[in-house]
Copies of this chain bind each other. A is one copy, B any other.
Amino acid sequence: MPTARKPPDFLNGVPELIVLRLLSQKPMYGYELIQAIQVATSRNFAFGEGCIYPVLHRLEADGALNGRRETVQGRSRIVYRVTAKGRGRLEQSAVAWKRSVEVIQAILSEGNRASPAMA
């Protein structure tokens, strides 16, 4: 029995959703964002730089984000802001996410009378 496969993953594309959402609340630079994600998820998620930076670049290339280089106290950062297009994308992604979650939750609770669980 060699397997094990690591702790269950789930998720996919979720980093993008979170990035879009957090940046829509407040513009941030990459390094800051990576730590903000950990805080916002109470350490439940911790996406690495190798995950977030590419997401940032892709979103910017798609016009969903607008990155601007700023230098503060000798520290050079690239602050990202969500564009109008990005907000649309966030909107859509959030809706798709919720639909998927509902579908799965329906399957998981099917036949589970006596456990209200879901609000």
Hey, which bits of chain A sit against chain B, CB under 8 A?
1, 3, 5, 7-14, 16-18, 21-22, 25, 40-42, 44-45, 58, 61-63, 92-94, 96-97, 99-101, 103-105, 107-108, 110-111, 118-119
List the number of copies, as a whole number: 2
CB-contact partner of A10 in B13, B107, B108, B110, under 8 A: B13
When C-beta atoms are compared, the residue in chain B nearest to A37 turns out to be B107
> What is the bound-complex CA distance between A109 and B11, given in angstroms?
18
Note all chain B residues with C-beta closer than 8 A to A96: 7-8, 10
Tell me if A11 and B8 are in contact (CB < 8 A).
no
Tell me if A62 and B97 are in contact (CB < 8 A).
no
Tell me if A1 and B63 are in contact (CB < 8 A).
yes
> What is the bound-complex CA distance between A92 and B40, given in angstroms?
23
- 7 A–B contacts from the bound complex (CB under 8 Å): A1-B61, A8-B17, A8-B92, A11-B12, A22-B107, A25-B111, A94-B108
Q: What is the minimal beta-carbon distance from A30 to any residue of chain B, in angstroms?
A: 18
